[in-house]
Chain A
Amino acid sequence: MSGADFTTDETEGGSVLRLSGDWTLAEASALGPRLAAIPGNVKTVDLSGVGHIDTIGAWLVHRLMRDTGAALTGANEDAGHLIEQVSAADRPLKIRPDHTPPFLRVLGEMGEATMQAGRTLLGLLGFFGAIMITSWHLIRHPRAIRFNAVVRQFETVGVTALAIIGLMSFLIGIVIGQQGAVQLRQFGAEVFTINLIGRITLRELGVLMTAIMVAGRSGSAFAAQLGSMKLAEEIDAMRTIGVSPMEALVMPRIIAAVAMMPLLGFYSSIVAMVGGGIFCWISLDIPPVTFVQRIREVVPITDMWVGLVKAPVFGLIIAMAGCFQGMQVEGNAEEVGLRTTASVVQAIFLVIVLDAFFAVFFTAIGWV
Chain B
Amino acid sequence: MADDSDVVICVRGLANSFGDQVVHEGLDIDVHRGEILGVVGGSGTGKSVLMRSIIGLQRPQAGSVEVFGEPMIDREEHEAKSVRRRWGVLFQGGALFSTLTVAENVEVPIREYYPGIDPVLLDEIASYKVLMSGLPEEAGPKFPSELSGGMRKRAGLARALALDPELLFLDEPTAGLDPIGAANFDMLIKGLKQTLGLTVFLITHDLDTLYAICDRVAVLADHKVIAVGTIPELLALDHDWIQDYFKGPRGRLAADVADRNAAGEVEAGE
Contact = CB atoms under 8 A, between A and B. Distances in A.
Interface of A: 24-26, 28-29, 32-33, 54-56, 59-60, 63, 78, 81-82, 85-86, 89-98, 331-332, 334
Interface string B183-226: 00000000000011100000000000000000000000000000
B128 A95 contact: no
Contacts of A97: 101, 141-142
B103 A93 contact: yes
B91 to A, nearest CB: 15
A93 B116 contact: no
B65 interface: no
Contact of A55 (B101, B137, B141, B164): B164
Nearest to A55: B164
A140 B186 CA distance: 59
Contacts of B195: 78, 81-82, 85
Interface of B: 98, 101, 103-104, 107, 110, 114, 116-118, 120-121, 123-132, 137-138, 140-142, 145, 163-164, 195-197
17 contacts: A24-B164, A28-B117, A29-B116, A32-B117, A59-B124, A63-B124, A78-B197, A81-B195, A82-B196, A89-B128, A91-B127, A91-B131, A93-B126, A95-B107, A96-B101, A98-B141, A331-B145
A196 B141 CA distance: 61
A93 B131 contact: yes
Contacts of A63: 124
B98 A95 contact: no
B104 A92 contact: no
Chain A interface, DSSP helix/strand/loop, else mixed: helix
B141 A95 contact: yes
Given A25-B114, A56-B125, A332-B145, A95 B164 contact: no
Contacts of A32: 117-118, 120-121
Nearest to A335: B145
Contacts of B121: 28-29, 32, 60
Nearest to B115: A29
B126 A95 contact: yes
A334 B123 contact: no
A91 B145 CA distance: 24
A97 B127 CA distance: 14
B114 A92 contact: no
Given A25-B114, A32-B118, A93-B140, A334 B98 contact: yes
Q: Which of B103, B104, B121, B128 has the most CB of A within 10 A?
A: B128
Contacts of A33: 118
A26 B114 contact: yes
A334 B145 CA distance: 10
A95 B103 contact: yes
A94 B130 CA distance: 11
B72 to A, nearest CB: 22
B131 to A, nearest CB: 4
Contacts of B131: 89-91, 93
B124 to A, nearest CB: 7
Given A33-B118, A59-B125, A81-B195, A96 B132 contact: no
Contact of A96 (B114, B141, B145): B141
Nearest to B194: A81
A63 B130 CA distance: 17
A78 B196 CA distance: 8
Contact of A95 (B114, B118, B140): B140
Contacts of A85: 132, 195
Contacts of A96: 101, 103-104, 141
Contact of B127 (A24, A78, A92): A92
B103 A86 contact: no
Given A85-B132, A86-B132, A90-B128, A95 B117 contact: no
Contacts of A82: 195-196
Contacts of A24: 164
A247 B184 CA distance: 46
A60 B164 CA distance: 14
A33 B122 CA distance: 12
A95 B196 contact: no
Q: Which 7 pairs, one residue from A and one from B, show the smallest C-beta to C-beta distance?
A: A89-B131, A93-B127, A54-B164, A95-B103, A32-B118, A93-B140, A89-B128
Contacts of B125: 28, 56, 59
A63 B125 CA distance: 11
A162 to B, nearest CB: 33
A85 B141 CA distance: 22
Q: Which of A81, A92, A93, A94 has the most CB of B within 10 A?
A: A93
Q: Which of A25, A59, A85, A95 has the most CB of B within 10 A?
A: A95
Contacts of B163: 25
